[in-house]
Structure 1
Amino acid sequence: MKRLYSFYYDAFWIASRSILEHKLRAFLTLIGIIIGVAAVVVVGASISGLNSYVSTQITKVLGSNHFMIARMAFSGRMADEEFERANRRNKKPTWDEYTYIKANCRNCSEVGAQMSGNADFNENGVEMPSVSINGVTSNFDLIEDKSIIEGRFISAIDESIAAKVCVIADDVRQKYFPNSSPIGKTIKLHGLPLTIVGLEDKRGELPGSSFNRSIYIPITLHRQIFGTTDNGLQIHGKGGTPETFDAAIDEVKLLLRNRRGLSGSDPDTFGLVNTKELGGQIDQFTNAIAAVVVRSR
């Protein structure tokens, strides 16, 4: 026992004497340890903040519990060979498929559709190029959790009669109505006057993309202006709760596969992405950044 005590006593005494004899080196070592620990803490907090920020922006842009079906839609990286196979195999969603899913998806709280295009505007000599023109169903504000801060969104009646109305986003308001309410005023799309019935709250932004340079019109009017083909048609849906979200996605996949006559071994002939997968991709990306930074310390 005395021998063990002597061993620890000697080790402690040698270490203490070394520190006292080399104060500067000990101080610098301590500073290095403090800086290293602080750096890891700061990086962790920064990554957490970045993750929270991007997740918030995605929720502002896309809403929660939201999925989208298109001919080519996927999250994450896809191998070139797999992409080429999907590009040859996949088919565009059709209006009939949209109405079929809308009528039969029991786990979906909402099912809607969207068609997109672009147009250049020139109002009284004030130009605004490449504005996104989104033809949407009347429930699209519920699917994407949109916030309408003035007026209203597209109504079911607007959709049924292809009413010449629109909802504008914040960039359009700032461009043409910076000092007054846009509600009740008109803006021309391809020479067609549209009455503004709603103003969307400013949405989130992601690097390189602004979602505030948009106009929403009834999807039926969009089909009249841009053509009645199903080119670019997207089917959108929303799960009632996070608990039923996966069930809604599985049900929609099964409905569309059955509608297209696919057997169990056949690959999907459509793409589907959802906000849950996008959130997972963000977590993987930020965790990878954190791992690289921490390893470099």
Structure 2
Amino acid sequence: MDYRELFRVALRALRANKLRSFLTLLGVIIGVSTIVGVVGVISGLDNYVKDQLATMSPDVFVVDKFGLIRSREEFLQAVKRPPIRWSDYERLMGAGLQRTGEICVSGGRSMKVVNGAKQLPNVNINGVTANFGDMFRLQFDAGGFFTPQEDQAAQAVAVIGANTKEELFPTVDAMGRTFTIGGLPFRVIGVMPKQGRGIGLGQDNEIYIPMQVYRNNFMASNESLQLMVKAAGGVDGLDASQDEVRAVLRALRHTPYKDPDPFGIFTQDTLKQLWASISTAAFALLILISSVSLGVGGIVIMNIMLVSVVERTQEIGVRLALGARKWDILRQFLLEAALLSLAGGLMGIALGSLGVFGVKAAFGVPAQVTTLIIGMGIFLAVAVGVSAGFLPAWRASRLPVIDALRAE
């Protein structure tokens, strides 16, 4: 029997029990849709986070009060640390550091932004020094970043993200326009291109203003700043620059030699490692959840196929009596199981893709469904079907002809 005839026989058998066939698919649908949905979201986020981290030069490190927090205990210890002050930046700048290049300062908070009748209640306002734009390789659709002179003069100028521009100036060119932050007017001098967002990263909803303006008008008395430090010797000089900055800050805080740093330091590399551990854990959880769903689906398919073999015992006997080989019977039932799981896999891919696009539309997460994800979903579905259908197919192919013909 050729494969075309096998395919027709298998489809006829599945159509004869439509409700049972659909119920059989549920486990596979849930498993595949879970895989497609979660992999689509995580892989999209993974690419986005890597792109965002690439904007941070590998020879730059960040110093702040908390650093990278990985546990509750670390957080409780970090809360007790003193804040990073503007005076720390001034002392570093005046320390004559030999292994350290530029130092940038950043502080921020959420504030209300207004342009006429348009109001944005919670926009991230970032006060930064003028070298921030070059250090983090910011791109612009229009204009550019503010200059050191504008920062020192505390001029009320602002660089805005794409979403902020669309909200405040939806129909006009934002360059040179004025809006207010906390009641203080600011003039737009730069607009950044749209990037998308994920897990709080990105600049679409950000506003950057000169550090001196931020300090004079918005900075809280107990606020802790961030220091972005560029090593003078490039990546090879990163450790030496960190040691140099660390020594100054520890001396300013009178930290005993054996005590840990009362501040955190992290680099592009440590951020990549942290994200890798997070994404790996998420994928491991995905494998566990989807394995359970697909396993249940496989068991259901196997049981339904065993019932089908019992119900069609006489049909199998007739086919064997008419010259069908055991191999033909085995292939027929394997093909039925594969078609069942393939149908479930395709439905799961469709359902998972809808979930991915829904998450992308609702939350702006850069999720994606690639051909690789679709291929993986199809492969897993068919693999589950063939594996689950092998035992019923084997039993069907080994039925004695006489006993099968006598079956009621």
Same fold (TM over 0.5): yes
Gap runs ≥5 in structure 2: 1-31, 292-379, 381-408
Give the corresponding residue for 2:101: 109
Q: Which structure shows the bigger proportion of residues in strand conformation?
A: 1
Give the corresponding residue for 1:142: 134
Counterparts of residues 61-210 of structure 1 (less than 5 Å) = 62=56, 64-75=58-69, 77-78=70-71, 80-88=72-80, 90-103=81-94, 104-203=96-195, 205-207=197-199
Secondary structure of the corresponding residue to residue 142 of structure 1: helix
Q: Which structure shows the bigger proportion of residues in helix conformation?
A: 2
Return closer, same or farther for 1:208/1:136 CA change in 2, 3 Å cut-off. Answer: closer
Secondary structure of the corresponding residue to residue 254 of structure 2: coil
Give the corresponding residue for 2:247: 254
Deviations 1:134-161 (A, max 9, x none): 1110101122221133112121111111
- Provide the C-alpha distance between the structure 2 equivalents of 1:106 and 1:248, rounded to a whole number of angstroms: 8
- Please, what TM-score do these two structures have when normalized by structure 1? 0.73
Cα contact 1:163–1:221 (8 A) shared by 2: yes
- Provide the C-alpha distance between the structure 2 equivalents of 1:122 and 1:81, rounded to a whole number of angstroms: 40
- Provide the C-alpha distance between the structure 1 equivalents of 2:205 and 2:263, rounded to a whole number of angstroms: 28
- Provide the C-alpha distance between the structure 2 equivalents of 1:236 and 1:208, rounded to a whole number of angstroms: 19
- Residue 263 of structure 2 is aligned with which of 247, 270, 292? 270
Deviations 1:61-96 (A, max 9, x none): x55443222222224x12x334323322x1111112
Aligned AA for 2:54? T
Cα contact 2:114–2:181 (8 A) shared by 1: no
Cα contact 2:45–2:198 (8 A) shared by 1: no
- Provide the C-alpha distance between the structure 1 equivalents of 2:198 and 2:61, rounded to a whole number of angstroms: 19
- Provide the C-alpha distance between the structure 1 equivalents of 2:246 and 2:144, rounded to a whole number of angstroms: 32
- Please, what TM-score do these two structures have when normalized by structure 2? 0.55
Cα contact 1:165–1:195 (8 A) shared by 2: yes
Secondary structure of the corresponding residue to residue 266 of structure 1: coil
Cα contact 1:58–1:204 (8 A) shared by 2: no
Structure ID, larger Rg: 2
Cα contact 2:179–2:185 (8 A) shared by 1: yes
- Provide the C-alpha distance between the structure 2 equivalents of 1:148 and 1:64, rounded to a whole number of angstroms: 22
The percentage of aligned residue pairs carrying the same residue is: 27
Return closer, same or farther for 1:292/1:193 CA change in 2, 3 Å cut-off. Answer: closer
Secondary structure of the corresponding residue to residue 151 of structure 2: helix
- Provide the C-alpha distance between the structure 1 equivalents of 2:43 and 2:230, rounded to a whole number of angstroms: 27
Q: Indicate the RMSD between aligned Cα atoms, in angstroms.
A: 3.0
